[in-house]
Each structure stands twice: as structure tokens, then as C-alpha cells.
Amino acid sequence: QKEVEQNSGPLSVPEGAIASLNCTYSDRGSQSFFWYRQYSGKSPELIMFIYSNGDKEDGRFTAQLNKASQYVSLLIRDSQPSDSATYLCAVMAYNNNDMRFGAGTRLTVKP
Amino acid sequence: EPEVTQTPSHQVTQMGQEVILRCVPISNHLYFYWYRQILGQKVEFLVSFYNNEISEKSEIFDDQFSVERPDGSNFTLKIRSTKLEDSAMYFCASRTVRELFFGEGSRLTVL
């Protein structure tokens, strides 16, 4: 069974703070890792992806991957109220045909 | 900017009826997907499609479901004999190499 686990939250941070979102996965053969943002009633929107161990930065977002620990995280710096959403971790299998999502972490950024 | 388009945006049907949900993937994408999200729950993988055939399907995707690419642009999900529990948002997605892009979704309500 290919599992992707996230803390459901809610995670609440004050505006300007760093939000840290975590994800673990069970399929050791997973190759690609994605973070999506989903506003209520909307479709998932790709924020960023990471394939290699280490950190990847894109603007206020940093993804971190540790394949040995089967762990991926997303840091959001200088959090804004507009960042309030559910953040979905997604993992793509080795065959690149099957992307599975975690249940998502609901983030609230308070002004 | 190219996008995945889905129709209808909302469909209401009676239990036992058949529904067809339609998707037009991004034109140069080769891999197509259907996902389901029951209200308040996680995004669930249904099926992936490549080279005119199913490449992967989940345990949810049973004989009640089928997918088809009837022409060069459309990608459809057929749900036969709908049940109350089929009420959900259905998302179509497509990709080229790795990044998966979602349509806005079709909300299915089964009465």
C-alpha cells in the first residue's frame, strides 16, 4: 500500500512567521515529490517539486527531501494571510504513472 | 497559459444513472489522470492513462468506472449506475514529464 502521511492540522501561524509542513511516504521507490496548495472548493495548484535529496528554494517556499528517512517538508517564509489553504503533499511512484496524495495540512495565517 | 478544462462544472444525477465527465488536457501532454475528492476528504487517485490505454488504476477504479480518449483532445470518465457515495469532485489532470496540472473539477451530486 502506497501511503502518504501528513498532519491534518490545523496549523496556525502569525503573519510573517515561518510555516513548516511535513510529509512522510511509505514507497521507498518513489522518485518525485510535489507540494500543492488547495483553497476551499478549488483544484490543487502546484507550488513546487523536488527530486533530489536536500533543499530547493523558490521565492518564499523551500522544499526539503530526505529519501533515507522518507520525509519531505515545505517551509513557507514570511507567511501571509493569503497562504491560508490546505497544503497537499504528493508522491510519484518509480513508474511515473501513479501520483498519490496525502490528506493535506490545513494552514491558517493570522493577521 | 494552457490549462486543463473540464465539463460539466456541476452535474446532478439520480442514483443508478450513468454520467460522463469530460476533460480536455493540455495539448502537448501525454499522461492523463482522474482523481476524486469527496467533500472534506483527501484527493484520491483513480486512474492514469497513457498511449491510449490505462497505465495504472487504484482499488477504487472498479468495473463501475471506465475511461476513454474518443478523439485526439477529449478524455472522459464514465461512471455507470451511480451510487450516493459517488458524490464528489472529480478532477482531471495531465502532465508531460513530471509536473501534474489539474482542471477546475466537475462536481457530481448523486441524489
Across the 111 residues of chain B, what is the mean pLDDT of every consecutive 10-residue run? 92 97 93 95 93 90 94 91 97 89 97 97
pLDDT band at A29 (very low <50, low <70, confident <90, very high): confident
List, in sequence order, every residue forming a beta bridge with B65; answer none if it has no partner.
B79
List, in sequence order, every residue forming a beta bridge with A25; answer none if it has no partner.
A4
Nearest to A98 among B45, B91, B105 (CB): B45
Interface check for B43 against chain A (CB to CB < 8 A): the answer is: yes
pLDDT band at A96 (very low <50, low <70, confident <90, very high): low
| Percentage of residues of chain A with pLDDT beyond 70 | 98
Cβ–Cβ of A43/B104 closer than 8 Å?
yes
Interface check for B20 against chain A (CB to CB < 8 A): the answer is: no
Amino acid B111 reads: L
Strands of the sheet containing A4-6, edge to edge, are A4-6, A19-25, A71-76, A61-66, A54-58
Q: What are residue B23's phi and psi, to 5 degrees?
A: -145, 140
Supply the DSSP symbol for A18.
Answer: P
Cβ atoms of A73 and A21 closer than 8 Å: yes
Interface check for A72 against chain B (CB to CB < 8 A): the answer is: no
Give mean pLDDT, residues A24-31: 90
Phi/psi region, residue A94 (left: phi>0; alpha: psi -120 to 50; beta: rest), is: alpha
Interface check for A88 against chain B (CB to CB < 8 A): the answer is: yes
Helices (H) and strands (E) in chain B, counts: 0, 11
Interface check for B18 against chain A (CB to CB < 8 A): the answer is: no
Mutate to test the interface with A, among B1, B5, B42, B59 (most CBs of A within 10 A): B42
